[in-house]
Amino acid sequence: MQAPAGTLYRGREGMWSWVAHRVTGVLIFFFLFAHVLDTALVRVSPDSYNRIMDTYKTPLVNLMEVGLVGAVLFHALNGIRVMLIDFWAKGTRYQKQMTYVVVAVLLLVMVPATYRMTAHTFAALFGSTT
Amino acid sequence: MTAVTETQQDRLVIEAPRTRKKRPSQSGRGTNFEMYAWIFMRMSGLLLVFLVLGHLSIMLLLDGGVQRINFGFVAGRWASPFWRTWDLMQLWLAQLHGTNGLRVIINDYAERDGTRFWLKMLLYTSSFLVLVLGTLVIFTFDPDLAG
């Protein structure tokens, strides 16, 4: 029997949103592991918990939180897209358009969210008047 | 013998989409585990959209964001059964959703049987520990630790 040779990786919107879904999913999984451990410090002592929370407030980790929110938001929006492809009769027909909706909503939310999340860091670093 | 040849063939041949198989379940132990896992990913995913985006909004965006989080803040939130229930559901759904996601990824990319097996053992062990630890923390939280 002649096997259909080649690959299922087709590129374009469908494949890349699938790749991004996997990558963001793995990132979120590893953050969750760290997050359960850091939260568990509330059972050790208030001081040890407060010290780990202080690292969350530093500029570098603050920037990583923006990345985390972006990753979670993409994963959530693309997850909704996946469910629409699965359960909505016209889902597969509009999967490409839905990818652009996902990216548009992501950017639309992330611009003000990034501003809000980093305002304190910028004020602390550069002494902004806001 | 036959089983081995079939496995090897499965790896080489890309079947046409929606090819009917006698046995949809890969494990073939009479269960339909993969289908239930597929459904679980969608149901838990839908709930997690609200739980996690709500959690991130409260913790990182609203009202001072991460700068205001400390032991007292956690104590204030976990004084309410509502937030403890929220966090418990979030923990279990997210951890199981993530564990199944990583299980699929390991199955996809780890080609040697031994590698696949041990990676999944590591995954299940760490998931179990995270679930036990997280659940214990939520149930045994003691605000008086602040003294």
pLDDT digits over A11-42, tens only? 888 899 999 999 999 999 999 999 999 999 99
- For A42, the domain range is 14-124
Assess if residue A8 is contained within a domain: no
Average pLDDT over residues B35-47: 96
Which has the closest alpha carbon to A77: A50, A52, A100? A100
Assess if residue A7 is contained within a domain: no
Supply the mean pLDDT for chain B: 87
Q: Does residue A66 surpass a pLDDT of 90? A: yes
Assess if residue A86 is contained within a domain: yes
* Distance in Å from the first CA to the final CA of chain A: 71
CB contact under 8 A, A42 and B71: yes
- Running DSSP on this structure, what letter comes out for residue B67? G
Assess if residue A130 is contained within a domain: no
Higher pLDDT, A3 or B138: B138
* Cα angle for residues A23, B13, A12 (degrees, 5° grid): 40
pLDDT at A56: 94
Are A74 and A24 spatial neighbours (Cβ–Cβ below 8 Å)?
yes
Each residue's pLDDT tens digit, B113-138: 999 999 999 999 999 999 999 999 99
Domain count within chain A: 1
pTM above 0.95, yes or no: no
Distance from CA of B29 to the nearest CA of A (A): 26
Specify which of A125-129, B132-136, B140-144 reaches the highest per-range mean pLDDT.
Answer: B132-136
pLDDT at B74: 95
Written as six digits, the tokens of A130 are 């806001």
Show residues of chain A in contact with B99, CB under 8 Å: 29
Assess if residue A3 is contained within a domain: no
Assess if residue A1 is contained within a domain: no
ipTM, two decimals: 0.88
Instruction: Assign residue A101 the CATH number of its domain.
Output: 1.20.1300.10
Q: Does residue A43 surpass a pLDDT of 90? A: yes
Interface test with A, best of B12, B51, B53 (most A CBs within 10 A): B53
Assess if residue A61 is contained within a domain: yes
Assess if residue A5 is contained within a domain: no
